[in-house]
Amino acid sequence: MIAPKDIPARTNPQETFVLNLGPQHPAAHGVLRVKMTMDGEYVTRAEPILGYIHRMHEKMGENRTWAQFLPNTGRIDYLSALHYNHAFVGVVERALKLEVPPRAEYIRVITSELNRISSHLVWWGAFLIDLGGMTPMLYAFDDRERLLDLLEGVTGSRLTYCYFRFGGLCNDVDSDFLKGTREFVTRMRPRLQMYRALVTDNIILRKRLEGIGPISAEMCRKYGATGPVLRGAGVAYDVRKVEPYSVYPRFDFKIPIYPEGDSMARYRVHMDEMEQSLRIIEQALDQLPEGPVMGKVPRVLKLPAGDYCYAVEASRGRFMMRIVSDGKDTPYRVKLRTPSFSNLSLFEEASRGMILPDALALMGSLDLVIPDIDR
């Protein structure tokens, strides 16, 4: 990477131009506009301009009952919908001190980890298209379709899930889901090895990513970046480990970290996380208890007055749901702490001095979902 001070000096320092990346551009991964000030091929400033698809989820949460807002959570980060379901039902259960049946918690973990793999597969395929490779997307969506078939059978949806309920789940899983999930785990492991041979170890990919877009742990802390971005900077922070929730403490899994902090490190974290999700799913299937999937829940939900928070490890990092209740059947205040917003915030500083193709590789490695930013 070329540091800002190494940008070649121009005869006229005002000879720069503005390049609008988006809001309609394949590399923008959604309706995101980045105002790029260029000095020749070099980025002098990259200003993200947000708000093109802002839906006011927080305000909607304050005008709906607790149950009515639940479907919104699957539409904030549509690729990580079950994790966002989990955060919202978790904060309400924490406020009401609801007991969730063990079987429901195990199924929450299984479906959430399937959702994480599905999300990472979309990122993998789309990222490689950004870098000029079309074929991996076809492999990724082949595997993802099998995942979506499994999740559709139990949730009724293929993308914006609303499966979790306060106190449990809307329905139990059947034997077809359990059998299909085991078959998927068995099939996916060799597929990950094939991905490594086809893409990860490919010298072309490595030359595009190694040493490109270094992000330090200090920069992550400065902007609040979490998830694979932070773990790709060598920090072993994962909400499932440091702020344990649900039944995650019962499973043995590792937190993939790479100290290099470059785009390749973030890539490797994503790939390793899919393997760790398979480990968690396998253990959860082996330990899955019998019993109900719904606990006792009041007919009318009115949370005690107070300030409540619940965090989960979503596909892109730490998602926290904060609600303030005044004792009514609707929230007084809803605050969503989304990982994509924090991860994008460091792009301006991290991309300074890079050539444009490398800046796009850096942006792709951040794994952005724009509705998660424009929430």
pLDDT digits (tens, 9 = 90+) for 335-355: 999 999 999 999 999 999 999
Domain assignment of residue 147, yes or no: yes
pLDDT, tens digit (0-9, with 9 covering 90-100), for 17-73: 999 887 876 666 778 899 999 998 999 999 999 888 888 999 999 999 999 999 999
Domain that holds residue 90: 57-345
CA distances from 171 to 118, 164, 168, 293 (A): 21, 9, 9, 7
- Confirm whether 319 is domain-assigned: yes
Mapped onto helix, strand or coil, the DSSP state of residue 56 is coil
Q: List, in sequence order, every beta strand (DSSP E) within 85-228.
A: 164-165, 168-169
Distance CA 186, CA 375 (A): 37
Average pLDDT for 149-166: 95
The answer to whether position 285 is within a domain reads: yes
Provide the number of structural domains found in the chain. 1
Per-residue CA distances from 350 to 73, 271, 362 (Å):
30, 23, 8
Residue 282, H or E segment: helix 263-287
For 25, the 3-state DSSP assignment is coil
- The distance from CA 306 to its chain's CA centroid, rounded to whole angstroms, is 28
Mean pLDDT over the full length of the chain: 92
CATH of the domain at 120: 1.10.645.10
In a domain, residue 79? The reply is yes
- How many Cβ atoms from other residues are within 10 Å of residue 40's Cβ? 13
Question: Residue 357: which of 209, 225, 214, 228 has the closest Cα?
Answer: 209
Reported as a single tens digit per residue, the pLDDT across 248-292 is 999 999 999 999 999 999 999 999 999 999 999 999 999 999 999
Give the mean pLDDT of 295-322: 95
Asked if 374 and 52 count as a contact pair (C-beta separation under 8 A), the reply is yes
Single-letter amino acid, residue 274: M
CA-wise closest residue to 266 among 370, 189, 362: 362
Task: Report yes or no on 357 lying in a domain.
Answer: no
On the question of pLDDT at 10 being above 70, the answer is no
Q: Is residue 359 part of a domain?
A: no
Q: Does the residue 315 lie in any domain?
A: yes
Does a structural domain hold residue 15? no
